Amino acid sequence: MNRPQQQTPRFAHRARVGTRWDDNDIYGHVNNAVYYQYFDSVINAYLIEQGGLDIHRGDTVGFVVRSECDYLAPVAYPGELEVGLGVERLGRSSVTYRLGLFDPRAPDPMAPCALGRMVHVFVRRSDSRPVPLPEGLRRALQALQFDSADTPLGQVTRI
C-alpha cells in the first residue's frame, strides 16, 4: 500500500473509534467495508452532537450518495483509531466530507492509514426530496470547512 503524494489534510475534528473483533477479515486486518462504518459513525455523531440532527424524529435526514476510500496501510483489531473529519464543499442541500483514518500506534501516527470522501444530500424525511440545510447543521458544518493549511487538528473525542 502506497502513501499518497499529496499532503495529508489537517482536520478540524478528530474522533476515536475502537476496532471490534468482527472487524478483521480472513487476512487479519480490518475489512475495507468497515472503514465506511467508522467514517459514517463519526460524521453522524458530529451532526447529532454539534448540528442538532434528530435522526429519529427530525424532518431532515442525510443520505450518503457517494463514497470513496484510498487504503494506504492496514489496521487491525484490537486497537483504537482516530478519524479526522473536515468539510471540502458545502452546498445548499449537500456536503462533501473529507476523512482520514489514523492509527496512533503506527510508526508515524500522523500518516493516514486511509483517506476517504463521502457526500451527504439532506432530504425531507417524508418524500426524500432535497431540502436546504437547516441552520444548525450548516453552522456545525461551516466549522469543519478547510480554509488553509493552518487549520488546527482540533480535539479528539471518543464515540
Q: Could you read off the pLDDT of 82-122 as tens digits, one per residue?
A: 999 999 999 999 999 999 999 999 999 999 999 999 999 99
- Find where cell 473529507 sits: 98
User: Any idea what DSSP says for residue 30?
Assistant: B
Mean pLDDT within 19-43 = 96
- Rounded to the nearest 10 degrees, what angle do helices 32-51 and 135-142 cross at? 120
Whether residue 125 contacts residue 132, with contact meaning beta carbons closer than 8 Å, is answered with no
Asked if CATH classification 3.10.129.10 holds for the domain at 13-158, the reply, yes or no, is yes
Q: Residues 64-70: what's their mean pLDDT?
A: 97
Residue 153 has pLDDT above 80, yes or no: no
Determine the pLDDT at residue 149. Answer: 52
Q: What is the pLDDT of residue 67?
A: 97
Residue that wins the pLDDT comparison between 151 and 30: 30
Cα separations (Å) of 2 from 27, 105, 109? Answer: 18, 19, 16
Tell me the pLDDT of the chain averaged across its residues. Answer: 90
Give me the pLDDT at residue 7, please.
Answer: 58
Q: What pLDDT is stored for residue 159 in this prediction?
A: 45
Model confidence at 145: pLDDT above 70: yes
